[in-house]
């Protein structure tokens, strides 16, 4: 599907990051929205071009891009790659000016362009310093997609502290031209992302997570226009605004699902609207969740349900209060000890149903389970 531009939103975020917004100003943004609603597409097609048009140097890193590499290694690589790119730019400027090193404009540069691949810095602050030497005249924006992944390891947590420290140092050293370091973190679960800034022990304590806005009725108009144009003379199948918007909302404002619904709708009898198709899709997704929950052992199910329903509370999963809540979901004679709870939680983690943001805390991997258990 053709990209639906969200330029105003990108401008608003960049204004906020550069302190130009009248409403809010922060040097780090935490944007959360559910899976598949367009976070990455927005970053790459709207936010980064807007930042670049302001002369900012943008580094993008997706912490899910390589599960075999640690978050810190991925951030270091991204910074190093940009550093090499800047070096290349400086070199070609120098060559075309017929100089071999020294000073271009206001910024000094080093012609240290033979860094071999194995010299990728191993610390985030070193990688940033290396880049900053070659990017003196720029505001640097680091975008960390799927940032919650940084919490999955000690290495990742350390890298968030390193970024916070770079952020604070840049804030103090901000030059006359206002060149700065700004951070954007995105994630698909608000609960997960907020672990980067809400516990007192987190690197960005005091910042808050913003809800990234979902695509709205303007996107649907853009979509209908493109589809109806492609449908051509098949008037009976032309999309109507109300039912298409209804379908999109039923499907959680996810463009991929709307396209699936469109494919199915084209094969349906003409009396069925795209909204009817979307409703059927949602019913079968609920059936899948139910099947997964039913396949758990009774103890696993009781624990999963209780932890999920308490995911927004300060819940200690091995406390006596927790164990009595699990017991209330189970037959009276069930033998429930800390070690049976441990075994069940470990099985739930193996099935990717629970994840552990910090020691002693568990959350559902997928927030649809919260809606499911709440509706029971």
Among 21, 40, 129, 310, indicate the residue that binds Mg ion (CB under 5 A): 40
Q: Which residues contact 368 (CB under 8 A, 6 or more apart)?
A: 285, 289
Q: How many residues make contact with Mg ion (CB under 5 A)?
A: 2
DSSP character string of 232-257: TT-GGG---HHHHHHHHHHTTT-HHH
Q: 40 or 198: whose CB is closer to Mg ion?
A: 40
- Rounded Cα distance, 3 and 42, in Å: 9
CA pair distance 39, 366, nearest whole angstrom = 17
Residue 302: CB minimum distance to ligand ATP, A: 30
Burial state string for 203-225 with b = 16 or more CB within 10 A and e = fewer than 16: bbeebebbebeebeeebbebbbe
21, 40, 123, 152: which one contacts ligand ATP (CB under 6 A)?
Answer: 40
The one segment of 37-45, 166-174, 282-290, 313-321 that binds Mg ion by CB under 5 A:
37-45
* Nearest to ligand ATP of 121, 357 (CB atom): 357
Contact stretch for ligand ATP (CB under 6 A) within 34-42, 107-115, 148-156, 270-278: 34-42
Nearer to Mg ion, 49 or 360 (CB): 49
255 counts as binding ligand ATP under rule CB under 6 A: yes
| 289 Cβ neighbours under 8 A, 6+ residues apart | 368, 369, 372
Minimum gap (Å) between residue 146 Cβ and Mg ion: 7
Per-residue x/- track, 183-202, ligand ATP (CB under 6 A): -----x--------------
Q: How far is the CB of 43 from ligand ATP (least distance, A)?
A: 8
167 binds, among Mg ion, ligand ATP, none (CB under 5 to 8 A by kind): none
**Residue 187, CA distances (Å) to 36, 210, 233, 238, 263 in order:** 11, 11, 42, 35, 29
Binding mask 2-21 for ligand ATP (x = CB under 6 A): -xx-x---------------
Which of Mg ion, ligand ATP, none has residue 255 at its interface (CB below 5 to 8 Å by kind)?
A: ligand ATP
Q: Which does 280 bind (CB under 5 to 8 A by kind): Mg ion, ligand ATP, none?
A: none
Q: What is the maximum span of the chain, computed from C-alpha positions, in angstroms? A: 85
Are 363 and 190 in contact by the 8 Å Cβ rule? The answer is no
Q: Where are the beta strands (DSSP E) in 140-261?
A: 140-145, 181-187, 209-211
User: Which of 11, 36, 54, 272 touches ligand ATP (CB under 6 A)?
Assistant: 36
Among residues 38, 71, 121, 246, which is the contact residue for ligand ATP, using CB under 6 A? Answer: 38
Q: Which two tokens stand for residue 196?
A: 């980067």
Q: Report the residue from 21, 26, 41, 125 that binds ligand ATP according to the rule CB under 6 A.
A: 41
Q: Collapse the DSSP code of 65 into the 3-class scheme (helix H, G, I; strand E, B; otherwise coil) and give the result.
A: coil
| Nearest residue to ligand ATP on Cβ basis | 38
Entry field: residues in the chain = 376
Q: Is 35 in the site for ligand ATP (CB under 6 A)?
A: yes
Residue for token pair 């209804």: 246
d(CA 48, CA 143): 9
Instruction: Give the Cα separation of 110 and 112 in Å (integer).
Output: 5
Measured from the CB atom, the residue of 166 and 257 that comes closer to ligand ATP is 257
- Our CB check for ligand ATP shows the closer of 51 and 341 to be 51
> Where on the chain is the footprint of ligand ATP (CB under 6 A)?
1, 3-4, 6, 35-41, 188, 255-256
Q: Which residues of the shown chain bind Mg ion in the complex (CB under 5 A)? A: 39-40
């Amino acid at each position: 599907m053709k990209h639906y531009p969200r330029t105003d939103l990108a401008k608003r975020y960049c204004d906020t990051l550069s302190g130009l917004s009248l409403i809010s100003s922060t040097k780090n943004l935490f944007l959360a929205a559910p899976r598949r609603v367009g976070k990455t597409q927005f970053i790459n097609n709207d936010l980064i071009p807007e930042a670049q048009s302001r002369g900012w140097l943008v580094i993008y890193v997706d912490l899910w891009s390589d599960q075999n590499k640690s978050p810190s290694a991925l951030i270091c690589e991204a910074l190093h790659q940009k550093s090499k790119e800047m070096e290349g730019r400086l070199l070609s400027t120098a060559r075309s000016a017929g100089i071999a090193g020294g000073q271009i404009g206001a910024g000094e540069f080093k012609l240290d362009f033979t860094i071999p691949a194995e010299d990728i810095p191993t610390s985030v602050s070193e990688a940033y310093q290396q880049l900053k030497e070659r990017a003196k005249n720029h505001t640097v924006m680091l975008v960390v997609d799927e940032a919650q992944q940084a919490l999955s390891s000690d290495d990742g947590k350390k890298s968030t502290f390193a970024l916070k420290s770079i952020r604070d140092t840049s804030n103090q050293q901000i030059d006359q031209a206002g060149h700065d370091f700004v951070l954007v973190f995105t994630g698909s679960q608000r609960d997960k992302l907020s672990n980067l800034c809400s516990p007192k022990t987190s690197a960005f304590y005091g910042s808050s997570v913003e809800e990234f806005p979902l695509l709205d009725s303007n996107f649907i108009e853009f979509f209908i226009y493109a589809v109806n144009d492609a449908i051509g003379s098949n008037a009976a199948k032309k999309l109507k605004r109300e039912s298409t918007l209804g379908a999109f909302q039923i499907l959680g404002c996810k463009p991929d699902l709307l396209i699936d619904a469109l494919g199915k709708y084209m094969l349906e009898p003409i009396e069925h609207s795209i909204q009817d198709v979307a409703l059927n899709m949602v019913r079968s997704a609920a059936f899948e969740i139910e099947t997964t929950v039913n396949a758990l052992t009774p103890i696993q199910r009781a624990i999963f349900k209780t932890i999920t329903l308490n995911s927004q509370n300060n819940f200690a999963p091995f406390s006596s209060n927790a164990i009595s809540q699990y017991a209330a979901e189970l037959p009276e004679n069930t033998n429930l000890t800390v070690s049976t709870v441990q075994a069940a939680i470990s099985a739930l983690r193996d099935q990717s149903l629970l994840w552990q943001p910090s020691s002693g805390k568990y959350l559902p991997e997928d927030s649809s389970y919260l809606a499911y258990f709440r509706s029971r």
